[in-house]
Chains A and B, each alone.
Chain A
Amino acid sequence: MLALKDVGKTYPNGVHALERFSAEISPGEIIAIIGGSGCGKSTLLRAIAGLDRASTGSVTLDNAVITSPHAKIGIIFQEPRLLPWLSVADNIGFGLADLAADARGERVASALARVGLTDKASAWPRELSGGQAQRVAIARALVPQPEVLLLDEPFSALDAFTRRDLQDHLLDLWADTRPTLILVTHDVDEAVVLADRVLVMRPRPGRLFEQITINLARPRDRKSELFDTFKRRVLTALDRSLDRSVRDATDKSSAGEAMWW
């Protein structure tokens, strides 16, 4: 159980990025955090990762208070952040330095096979496409078998087709060990495809605005009516979070708006 209690963050320059954010997230749950820019999404994610300390409140994972990066919490950033001097295989095995070489090799080989990059094992990161590099980053984060995996707009730099592929692929990988996933995104479509629960945030200062539970069976059909209904609900909540004029929830014209920022 990951518990966020009154998490707040004020940066040294006085920017009040996040205020009293509380949520309880069960093991294996998939959470999407969505909101306008400046709503503290990334701040929240970095606090959960232990990369930045919260100014107020606490993040606890199974009763352990998180103040620095934790072995059970992995993170995938917007950019792959592969180490350019390591081969693809060595990048994936980067977090397994404590393991004996043969055990590490086995884990890396199975992870490579799982993300479909076995033939790229000895390639350099610069030889990968954007989608392949992000797959390596996903494998690197999953190979130490984290209980919580944080994703900070992981697919936003990719083209629409690759993004869709990787969303499906991520769900597929998630099913292996079912870690908790917390995904920060700008993409309503992505939130509704992946998440059990969408947390809509409100900017200045960032705080939780609304929670929307997506009780759709997986795999989800992006073209179904029900899917559109959930998308509209998220879009409506987003509009309200920014005090925009509330659109009619049944208005078909907003349904095609896949990206939102």
Chain B
Amino acid sequence: MNCSDDTYCLGIESTADDFGVGILSFKGRALANINSAYINPEGGIHPREASRHHAGIAGEVLSKAFHKAEIKPKEIAVVAFSQGPGLGPCLRTGATAARALSSYLNVPLVGVNHCVAHIEIGKLVSKAKDPVTLYVSGGNTIISAFDGGKYRVFGETLDIAVGNCLDVFARAAGLRQKEGMPFGAMVENVASRGHSFVSLPYSVKGMNLSFSGLLTAAVQLLKSGKHTVEDLCFSLQEVGFSMLAEVTERALAHTEKPEVLLTGGVAANNRLQSMVKSVADEHKVRFCVVPKEYALDNGAMIAWTGILAYQHNMVIPTEKSFVRLKWRLDDVHVPWVES
């Protein structure tokens, strides 16, 4: 198997608001990881507008990545792209760029599942071997662990993702996001100034979670004007993250895995990190958190997972490289992990 440090894979990520390009050696060394985010100050992602952003910026991000990596395009051996799950127009933009590149360079094309990529890059950078993964972002809330050839989903949200819950609340509270300051970070900021706890619905169903009732209750209390935004942000985080910590702990108790891996955009939240770490400490397992650069959507994770898949001959012909908007994590066969 080719694990050499001078063979490279280029990965393109474009499932949602980020367009990212990563270049990694087959050994797992990151040469470049360049990202450009579509920002809507009012929040939310307009799929068409986001895909226009991606199409407009793709060339620039690609050349920046090659510049940073200090390699020429013809040195790329494999092109990988996030094939799903995600927003259709965004996915198609990234896929188009990947197909063009692979056919121009005449190198194999690999389609990567975005959720698998989050786990794989997390394992690479934190050196976790067999973790329970809590993957939390604006679009996903999944508790997963490997078993029998796949990353099994032990628990997930039954409605909206935790990041979505925070985003929509921030929007209702009239906050505005800007470059480098997404809603999640703003909520964390505002929450740090809150101190009195407001009771909100806590909804854990076994290993699954529900955030929609929590969001509705928080927004209603906000509109009632009886509580400050600071107290509500604080309480929203405390309740939502306690729920996440509880299901993570349940998955740990159930699977008896030796590590916990926290990843996804919401993994950047310090309060959530401290809670999940506390759970890991209590069960005497290793706590791994993915650094922000690799926890947010990024091209490096696609490149790395592309390498793993390529080494197991999971190449797709261009004419079959359709994007898969609803490609579940537990649908993906993962032959590179030993059972």
Bound pair: A and B?
no
